Structure 1
Amino acid sequence: MNHCVLEVEVSEAPTIRYTQDNQTPIAEMTVKFDGLRQDDAPGELKVVGWGNLAQDLQNRVQVGQKLMLEGRLRMNTVPRQDGTKEKRAEFTLSRLHPIGAGSSGAATGTPATEQRPAKTPPAAQAAPEAASWNAAPLVPDTDEIPF
């Protein structure tokens, strides 16, 4: 099953359009997220929301806002100006969770208790070098099972 959760920052404001047949709203925005390594450039991704979620994106999301997104990731083939084709990732939104100060709840109407990430206590924010790890083996030496 294709289900992704991303922590992102909005880099382009959502724009809304409508389907021709039944006038379903579709919102699109561009977000950026940190690379895997510290020296990696941030990644960019197009996010698409449908229906009521599209309206919520248009009304509640602003450039620079940090969000936690849930949804599906897919690849689209897009023609370039030089005639070649390019594959681009697209994220279809299913849930939206604001992060940080001023987040009063999700755009999907879920309870506000799910929207705010738990604050990490200062003791847990210590440098990784300061952590003391248990060096004991996971399986006692007397165990005869080889795995």
Structure 2
Amino acid sequence: MNSCVLLAEIIQEPQLRYTADNLAVTEMLVQFQNSQKAEDAPATLKVVGWGNLATEIQQNYHQGDRVIIAGRLGMHTVERQEGFKEKRAELTVQQIQSLGGNFDLNSSGNISVAEPPPRQTSPVPTSPAVEIPSYESQRPVTTPATTTVGVVPPVTKPQPIAQPSKFEPTAYPPVTEEEPDPDDIPF
């Protein structure tokens, strides 16, 4: 199956249009770092979304947003005005997710992600006489687990048991316990 996941920045505002069958189509351009070399320019790619996803993209994603896009990569031949044909890559979106923070391409060409700033909340004034109930349950404190999984008990040789003299000797070999096989996993 043809599948592609891309970390990119939207460089052209998503454009929503409709087909003759009234199916929504959104097109936009994204750019991404195509190489490990910092001096290489970012690559651009046309991204297309269809149906409900197209309207979601047009409503929720805008130029400058950093996104993770998953979809199918395809090649299309385009007739140029100069009289020759050109092949272009196009990504058909199946999933899109906005990045919470900003990312920048550092000098080594790697992507560094910055966390978004914490939300500012205004303190709620409370009077000492009024108690505000908390609807959050107490979270249990975690304690380290002690487990014996994977620990093989030491094997001791069984001591022979003295047989009373009134028993007749048998021709069967004596029963001895074998060491447990560590690879034997009971199901």
Sort the TM-score into its range (normalised by shorter chain): 0.5 to 0.7
Secondary structure of residue in 1 paired with 2:59: helix
Cα distance in 1 between the residues matched to 2:52 and 2:7: 22
- Residue 53 of structure 2 aligns to which amino acid in structure 1? L
**Unaligned ranges ≥5, structure 2:** 103-112, 116-187
Structure with the higher fraction of residues in strand conformation: 1
Q: TM-score, normalised by structure 2?
A: 0.53
Q: Count residues with an aligned counterpart.
A: 103
Secondary structure of residue in 1 paired with 2:12: strand
Deviations 1:75-131 (A, max 9, x none): 0001111110100000000000100249xxxxxxxxxxxxxx9x7xxxxxxxxxxxx
> What does residue range 134-145 of structure 1 map to in structure 2 within 5 Å?
none
- Residue 22 of structure 2 aligns to which amino acid in structure 1? Q
| Larger Rg over CA atoms | 2
Q: Work out which structure has the larger RCO, using CA pairs closer than 8 Å and 6 or more positions apart in sequence.
A: 1
Partner of 1:34: 33
CA apart distance, 1:52:
0.4
- Residue 99 of structure 1 aligns to which amino acid in structure 2? L
- Percent of matched pairs sharing the same residue: 45
- Residue 75 of structure 1 aligns to which amino acid in structure 2? M
**Unaligned ranges ≥5, structure 1:** 103-116, 120-147
Partner of 2:86: 86
Cα distance in 2 between the residues matched to 1:76 and 1:35: 20
Cα distance in 1 between the residues matched to 2:62 and 2:101: 14
- Residue 99 of structure 2 aligns to which amino acid in structure 1? I
Partner of 1:95: 95
With 34-43 and 58-67 compared, the bigger mean Cα shift is at 34-43
Structure 1 consecutive aligned stretches of length 4 or more whose deviation exceeds 2 Å: none
> What does residue range 119-134 of structure 1 map to in structure 2 within 5 Å?
none
Cα distance in 1 between the residues matched to 2:34 and 2:90: 17
- Residue 47 of structure 1 aligns to which amino acid in structure 2? V
Q: TM-score, normalised by structure 1?
A: 0.67
